[in-house]
Structure 1
Amino acid sequence: MSLAPVEELFTVFNETAMIMQEELACTYLEALAETGENLFQERILQKDELSEVTVKRLKKSYDSLNLHTYSKENIRKSFQLAILKGMNEIVQPNHQMTPDAVGMLVGYLVDKFVKEETFRLLDPAVGTGNLLTTVINHQQKKNVEAIGLDIDDILIKLSYVNANLQQHPIQFFNQDSLEPLFIEEADVVVSDLPVGYYPNDVRASEYEMKADSGHTYAHHLFIEQSMRHVKAGGYLFFIVPNGLFESEQASKLHTYIQENANIQGLLQLPRSLFKNEKAAKSIFILQKKGEGVKPPKQVLLVNLPSLSNTAEMEKILRKIDGWHKENK
């Protein structure tokens, strides 16, 4: 019985990563990045560090695949499965991946809101590149140039390999995204915002949303940094905690958004996606103010049903469609 494409790819990613993890004495995620790079380059880049037997085993595994016969989405999903396996071994709070269904929904919304056939897309907290490449894969006949930033060197390497395997032209920067950025302005921002306090008070003091005392929320600073690097009239799609406007620093966020953006929508994600109520999130859609940029007649407010409930989801998508026609 032949395996489904995602399973077939995952098997090769997983088996070859495990072989290299053992021989190179590294983590599974590091080995996965190495094996992904080998597949993309169509050669074994670590030959000098591996035994002859291992090189033969890897070659046999790689030769069983022809990457060009797989869709970008199948490559993304299988690579994501392997990353999830690796993350389960070393659970760190900043290594959480955006659920697939949420990424697809953000991709659908970007496609709905953004009418330009060519646009620049920025993710300032790109992680493994899963959200960014999901969004790109869901753009209908559009040409997307993308930029991804992350402070974690392992995650950015996985991002880079992920993009190469899917043949997406993405520029990656391994840096603290809240430091000054030397990038071109984006038309659109997407980001699953890192939640928590930002430890660098000196850097935070250069932001309008800096806390009056103590550390500032990183997710607030990411919103401000994104707003600085998106064009006037550009859209921003953030995955945010549901309690975004309930914290002790919320008044600064409220004032900043009022002055700089128009709120387009807030879509509350189903609770079933999250381990507990405190972890629940929403998709927050903003448009940067600028000449000729008008706020919507009304903000799109949606409580999403379970994403596997097809009939209810179709109703919601029709509601989004109707709202869109009325407000554009």
Structure 2
Amino acid sequence: MNQQVTVEQLFSTFDESAIILGRALSVTYLEALGETAENLFHGYVLQEELTEIDKKRVQKLYDNARLERYSKESIRKSYQLAILKGMKEHVQPNHQMTPDSIGVFIAYLMRKSNGSKKPFILLDPAIGTGNLVTTVLNEFDGMVEAHGVDLDEVLLKLAYAGANLLRHPITLYNQDALEPLLIDPVDVVVCDLPVGYYPNDVRAADYRLNADSGHSYAHHLFIEQSLRHTRPGGQLFFIIPNGLFESPESKKLQAFLTEEVYIEGVIQLPESLFKNKQAAKSILMMRKKAPGLKKPKEVLLASMPSLTDKKATASIVQKIDRWFSDHQKG
């Protein structure tokens, strides 16, 4: 079956059932989507408040969906489309979903870094709806033990329900990720950094990257917190604003990173992926220092062209492949 057709069909199941549940339960589309995804995982309607007519309508949608027919990527993409629809209804700045292409590209970088057969433990301290992590997990199916943190209950419910549908084991924590985390050090951190100010000055004071005056940058604190939970020699992939090292407090950030990590690469993402030039981002690839770990001979610096330009993209990928080949030789 054509994947595009299957994605559209399954999206319709998510969409129609979420609309019915949303109306019946008097909740938002996103909240209803989390409920219907959990129903679909179990195969039946869990909400007892529904009328018999609504239960039958929704159950028929689930029965016709036959989830076992779909690949994990088709399920993830269908679910993502429904989440995007819900986000358009009430958008908040930190509710933006990480584009698929970025998740696939980070998975490629991870594979080049660590090989493709070594199991590892992963953390996303700002997991949101889970799209970045599940994109990575689909690329490393069955090899990853994942952990995710988010303060937003609705987003975390969507991440939980989505992980269940894809049958990926993820341990989720509903808390402020900058509070103490009961998570052992991991091998890899991936995070689309939440950009902005952190309002809890008392908590921020526990960080070396707290601001000298006023509120601290949340994205700086997320970097430090991630490093606290990364084992020596572990790798970190952050999606960062392009102006990260040009902002106030950037000197303190640079000094901290020089002490704690080796920066392995900065890859500027295509501006076409973002609403405007000011919103454009890059991938910052770092490795936490460890005894015997050598600094890379050179930092990988690359600027990704529009992904529709296949020739230019292939050229950049060749450059990245060469960097990894040279770097891994020592």
**Which range, TM-score by smaller chain?**
over 0.9
**SS of 2:65 mapped into structure 1:** coil
Summarize deviations over 1:93-150 as a string: whole Å, max 9, x none: 01001111111111111111123611001000000000001011122x6610000000
Maintained 8 Å contact 2:151/2:177 = yes
Match of 1:323 in 2: 323
Give, in whole Å, the separation in 2 of the partners of 1:299 and 1:68: 44
Q: CA-atom RMSD, angstroms?
A: 1.3
Match of 2:120 in 1: 119
**SS of 1:64 mapped into structure 2:** helix
1:68 CA drift (Å) = 1.7
Maintained 8 Å contact 2:130/2:158 = yes
Gaps of 5+ in 2: none
Gaps of 5+ in 1: none
Match of 2:226 in 1: 226
Give, in whole Å, the separation in 2 of the partners of 1:77 and 1:110: 21
Maintained 8 Å contact 1:110/1:135 = no
Match of 1:177 in 2: 177
Match of 1:20 in 2: 21
Summarize deviations over 1:18-42 as a string: whole Å, max 9, x none: 0111111100000000000001011
Match of 2:39 in 1: 38
Give, in whole Å, the separation in 1 of the partners of 2:148 and 2:230: 14
1:197 CA drift (Å) = 0.4
Is 1:294 the counterpart of 2:291? The answer is no
1:164 CA drift (Å) = 0.4
Is 1:208 the counterpart of 2:201? The answer is no
Match of 1:148 in 2: 148
Q: How does 1:46-195 map to 2 (within 5 A)?
A: 46=47, 48-115=48-115, 117-139=118-140, 143-195=143-195
Deviates more, 1:185-194 or 1:306-315: 306-315
Normalising by structure 2, report the TM-score. 0.97
Give, in whole Å, the separation in 2 of the partners of 1:246 and 1:229: 26
Amino acid at match of 2:193: L
Normalising by structure 1, report the TM-score. 0.97
Amino acid at match of 2:106: V
1:245 CA drift (Å) = 0.5
Maintained 8 Å contact 1:18/1:28 = yes
List, as ranges, runs of 4+ consecutive aligned residues in structure 1 with deviation greater than 2 Å.
none
Match of 2:5 in 1: 4
1:221 CA drift (Å) = 0.3
Summarize deviations over 1:284-326 as a string: whole Å, max 9, x none: 0000001111111100000110012222111111111111010
Maintained 8 Å contact 1:111/1:138 = no
1:272 CA drift (Å) = 1.4
1:228 CA drift (Å) = 0.4
